Structure 1
């Protein structure tokens, strides 16, 4: 059982993560960020201790303190993960809001952010290092792969497959049964009625590709 947590990243998700850990009665020892402008400041009264390679950070991890990665940018998240694995042979914990509704049979990986009032229906699965913002609904037997971000209030129908590194904006709707391939982006408020190709960008209702060519 972890005694506390250190958050990597002073950014948009940090305040949400702080709220989650405090509601789950987990002590947050501090925040780390490589940008010096954050050093010697506080976020919700939690100090920004220094950079992610700060010796104090490494010492705390050696004392069984957990780490959570709050960066939204995928490459920053991956860099932090690689650092944790290389230095500590450990992986970050998830931040799961206590108001989230998680049905029996849901499978979930490591390092995820699950916001307030997220609903995961029966036999849905969430991979590793995903971000599900407040109020996201994932219907039954939908598969979400690693490094996916889904905006607040989005509804993902049943039997949907969302591959790695997909971004879905606020308030999107994905009808049942579709596949969104790796690296695709769905704009805020879009309604996706069919499969989405790898790396494509869709906007609108119904959602249409805005890629050239």
Structure 2
């Protein structure tokens, strides 16, 4: 059984621990986090250190793989880029809840997390380090590019493209044949009836583009 380190000690990480416990494919050695003390613990696992201690943690605990538990897409991508500089040979782990319904021949690449009740339909494609949150649905022939995410209760129609680092927030519906650009955030409870360009903040029922956004603009509270 491989030893894995969970990077990021948030509510999102608690959901990942639940998946890992249910699957029982890995041994969790603990957490790394830049905002928690080594006196803290999450789900019974200790905080072993921050990013500066990462190399030492990997060596001390014989870490085979890391799973990144960061909800913000840009931050998750930035952390990945930093990790591979200090640990270029580490494996990045994906996690799929056993209740998820995944169509045949769907590849789940490194770093991607699929939560409870998710439905991934036929011929869809999921990129690296994506998040498909609780009870979300990805339609047939749709694509999620690397580091993108769909939040809980999101419904994505068929033949939809979700760009790199883009986020579709809670309970949003995206109809068929829509293209969401890169680094775009669609706010909660929106109805997306038209495509949205790169680097936009958009929300509403029906959807309206509100303003330009920078890729590193935070969107999670």
Q: TM-score, normalised by structure 1?
A: 0.91
Correspondence 1:70-149 to 2 at 5 A? 70-89=69-88, 90-149=90-149
Q: Counterpart of 1:108 in 2: which secondary structure?
A: coil
Question: Aligned partners of 2:131 and 2:37: how far apart in 1?
Answer: 23
- Where does residue 42 of structure 2 map in the other structure? 43
Question: Aligned partners of 2:51 and 2:115: how far apart in 1?
Answer: 24
Question: Aligned partners of 2:77 and 2:200: how far apart in 1?
Answer: 22
- Where does residue 9 of structure 1 map in the other structure? 8
State the Cα deviation string for residues 22-77 of structure 1 (Å, max 9, x = none). Answer: 11113211001122x4321111111111113325422157x352110111233432
Alpha-carbon offset, residue 108 of structure 1: 2.8
| Contact 2:181-2:196 at 8 Å conserved across structures | yes
Name stretches of at least 5 consecutive residues in structure 2 with no aligned partner: 213-221
Question: Aligned partners of 1:122 and 1:23: how far apart in 2?
Answer: 25
**What RMSD over aligned residues (CA atoms) do the two structures have, in Å?**
1.7
| Contact 1:134-1:153 at 8 Å conserved across structures | yes
Runs of 4+ in 1 over 6 A off after TM superposition: none
User: Aligned pairs, how many?
Assistant: 209
Are 2:174 and 1:183 equivalent residues in the alignment? no
Q: TM-score, normalised by structure 2?
A: 0.88
Q: Counterpart of 1:27 in 2: which secondary structure?
A: strand
Correspondence 1:127-206 to 2 at 5 A? 127-206=127-206
Q: Counterpart of 2:128 in 1: which secondary structure?
A: coil
| Contact 1:169-1:186 at 8 Å conserved across structures | yes
Question: Aligned partners of 1:153 and 1:75: how far apart in 2?
Answer: 22
| Contact 2:157-2:175 at 8 Å conserved across structures | yes
Q: Counterpart of 2:31 in 1: which secondary structure?
A: strand
State the Cα deviation string for residues 138-184 of structure 1 (Å, max 9, x = none). Answer: 01110110111211000000100111011111000000111011111
Name stretches of at least 5 consecutive residues in structure 1 with no aligned partner: none
State the Cα deviation string for residues 76-115 of structure 1 (Å, max 9, x = none). Answer: 3233322332233234111211111111022332101111
Q: Counterpart of 1:14 in 2: which secondary structure?
A: helix
